[in-house]
Chains A and B, each alone.
Chain A
Amino acid sequence: MKITASRCQECERAIVPPREICPYCGPKSGTMDLLEIEGEGTVASFTTLQMPPEGFEPPLMMALVELEYGAVVLCLAKDNDLSTLEIGDSVILSLDSEERFLFNLDS
């Protein structure tokens, strides 16, 4: 899967979802460039909520996943039973029916 991001011409960091102004460099660096980045990355951290908010069922596992060009996205686990997950693991991203990112171990 490809993910649409925007990348700053000055600091070259990418951000998801895309936006016009680089939050790190400000308007002086001009409009950010749109680009497609790979939907695969590594787990920066993760948690499993046993007391999630209304509308969600426990256990609810989520992770911050680092992609290309320094972009990081929050993702829900495709399979909530990833008991062996560790920081640094490689994961593959997909989308659920509500256009939220999902992650699964890269086998």
Chain B
Amino acid sequence: MESVNVIGAGMTPFGILDDTLIHLSELAASKALTQSMTLELKFDHLVVSSQNPDEFVGIGHLSTLLADRLGIVPAGATRVETGPSSGSSAFEVGFTMIASGYSDLVLVIGVEKMSEVDRGTASKILAKMMSYENEIRYGATPTALAAMVARRYMHDYGLTRDELSLIPVKAHRNGAKNPLAHFQKEISIEKVNNSRIVAEPLTLFDCCPTSDGAASIVLASDRILKDLKLKDQAVRVLGVGHGTDYHAVQHRLSMTSFGATVAAAEKAFRMAKINPGDVGICELHDAFSILELINMEDIGLIERGHAIDLVKEGKTEIDGDIPVNATGGLKARGHPTGATGIAQIHDIYQQLVGNAPSGLQVDSPKIGLTHNIGGFGNNMCVGLFSI
């Protein structure tokens, strides 16, 4: 297998934005092309991730459209969709293209523009990733499913409401220093506890927002790396893993662990030939506060029921042993679904090359991990990267 490198990354601010989906994609790609110094090179392929541009903004055939707008015709172009893990899946496709020797230079763009439709319509579009027969027609929502997971986790492991609130508080503390984050404001435990209940026991501040935004990365073979003399800013892809779980929550084998994460993480660590203890910084998919704790356990950072101990001891902070979501996570950075997986890789890339926002740079991390969830917890990708 050929080595695969990330040689540049760019992203737009995340939030409720005036820019169109096309313009957001152009902005993110332009930053990634500039950082990777590939503006004048010929790309073999463009891989685009977007969960549902057809329904959010009425745009179809997005991969060709973007190849045209970015001036990289006749590069091959493909759109990848696995729900909110579309970004990581697009990265996975780009990775395999280079690892197999099929391509040398691949541009990956993740984008979603969710604010053009009203809240009810956005919820309906997002709900399509759940089971109609067993969930949607009962009025279940992703938050309701997360709430039942949270209640069961609290029952089994004794997690308290105040402890769970530490997750969004940390996300907002980091997001406050991230100039690209959707929310750049600190919050308190009381604010989380006392905000409007969405689905008991989860409040509004346990849930990530829906956002607009785009992120982009440039993937290159060692051959390109050598030609461009970009070794100092190349981040090596050590491992990639992808797994699924059963579609409806009621058919899963556990309520407090996600089998798709366990499978994806095992594959990624096996490919990378490293262990969870080797990871220096993580981007974990915290669409709901409880997920951050379960993800830490499913990836193998800590034994079952004890993720909150690492949080309380400060180990997941910027200056801790294993910083988690240093740029605010989905909760504060925002969640333009198709863009999130690429934004996670963007943020890990900038951390590894020492280019993170002021106050968020972790002290010389060597290995970074990304974890992205699609569906409600049933289509997960894990990536491992090293400088």
A1 within 8 Å of B (CB atoms): no
- Min CB distance B146 to A, Å, is 9
**B105-126 near A? 1/0 per residue, CB < 8 Å:** 0000000000000001001100
Q: Are A87 and B151 in contact (CB under 8 A)?
A: yes
Which residues of chain A come closer than 8 Å to B135, judged between CB atoms?
74
Q: Are B200 and A64 in contact (CB under 8 A)?
A: no
Which residues of chain A come closer than 8 Å to B198, judged between CB atoms?
49-51
- Min CB distance A75 to B, Å, is 8
Distance between Cα atoms of A72 and B250 in the complex (Å): 5
- Min CB distance A83 to B, Å, is 11
Distance between Cα atoms of A49 and B135 in the complex (Å): 13
Distance between Cα atoms of A46 and B149 in the complex (Å): 9
Interface stretch (choices B16-24, B136-144, B303-311) = B136-144
A45-B149, A53-B141, A74-B138 known; A23 and B251 CB under 8 Å? yes
Q: Are A64 and B134 in contact (CB under 8 A)?
A: no
Closest A residue to B156 by beta carbon equals A87
Residue of A24, A51, A56 touching B196 (CB-CB under 8 A): A51
B246 within 8 Å of A (CB atoms): yes
Distance between Cα atoms of A29 and B191 in the complex (Å): 52
- Min CB distance B303 to A, Å, is 22
**A33-64 near B? 1/0 per residue, CB < 8 Å:** 00000000000111111111111100010111
A-B contact count (CB 8 A): 89
Q: Are A49 and B139 in contact (CB under 8 A)?
A: yes
B93 within 8 Å of A (CB atoms): no
**A75-104 near B? 1/0 per residue, CB < 8 Å:** 110000000000100000000001010000
Closest A residue to B127 by beta carbon equals A53
- Min CB distance A18 to B, Å, is 11
**B3-41 near A? 1/0 per residue, CB < 8 Å:** 000000000000000000000000000000000000000
B155 within 8 Å of A (CB atoms): yes
Q: Which residues 223-252 of B sit at the A interface, judged by CB distance below 8 A?
A: 246, 248-251
Which residues of chain A come closer than 8 Å to B134, judged between CB atoms?
17, 73-74
Q: Are B155 and A56 in contact (CB under 8 A)?
A: no
Which residues of chain B come closer than 8 Å to A87, judged between CB atoms?
151-152, 155
A15-B251, A23-B251 known; A47 and B152 CB under 8 Å? no
B147 within 8 Å of A (CB atoms): yes
Which residues of chain B come closer than 8 Å to A64, judged between CB atoms?
148, 249-250, 255
Which residues of chain B come closer than 8 Å to A52, judged between CB atoms?
139, 141, 144
Q: Are A62 and B255 in contact (CB under 8 A)?
A: no
Which residues of chain B come closer than 8 Å to A75, judged between CB atoms?
138
Residue of A15, A16, A24, A48 touching B200 (CB-CB under 8 A): A48
A47-B144, A87-B152 known; A56 and B139 CB under 8 Å? yes
Which residues of chain A come closer than 8 Å to B250, judged between CB atoms?
16, 64, 72-74
Closest B residue to A98 by beta carbon equals B137
Distance between Cα atoms of A15 and B207 in the complex (Å): 30
- Min CB distance B295 to A, Å, is 19
Q: Are A50 and B196 in contact (CB under 8 A)?
A: yes
Distance between Cα atoms of A15 and B120 in the complex (Å): 32
Closest A residue to B252 by beta carbon equals A72
B271 within 8 Å of A (CB atoms): no
Distance between Cα atoms of A45 and B253 in the complex (Å): 14
List 17 extra interface pairs beyond A64-B250, A74-B134, CB under 8 A. A45-B149, A46-B148, A47-B201, A48-B200, A49-B139, A51-B198, A52-B139, A52-B141, A52-B144, A53-B139, A53-B141, A64-B148, A73-B134, A74-B248, A74-B250, A75-B138, A98-B137
What are 9 A-to-B residue pairs whose CB atoms are below 8 Å?
A17-B133, A49-B144, A50-B200, A51-B198, A53-B141, A60-B139, A63-B148, A64-B148, A64-B250
Q: Which residues from chain B sit less than 8 Å from chain A, CB to CB?
A: 120, 123-124, 127, 133-135, 137-141, 143-144, 147-149, 151-152, 155, 196-202, 246, 248-251, 253, 255
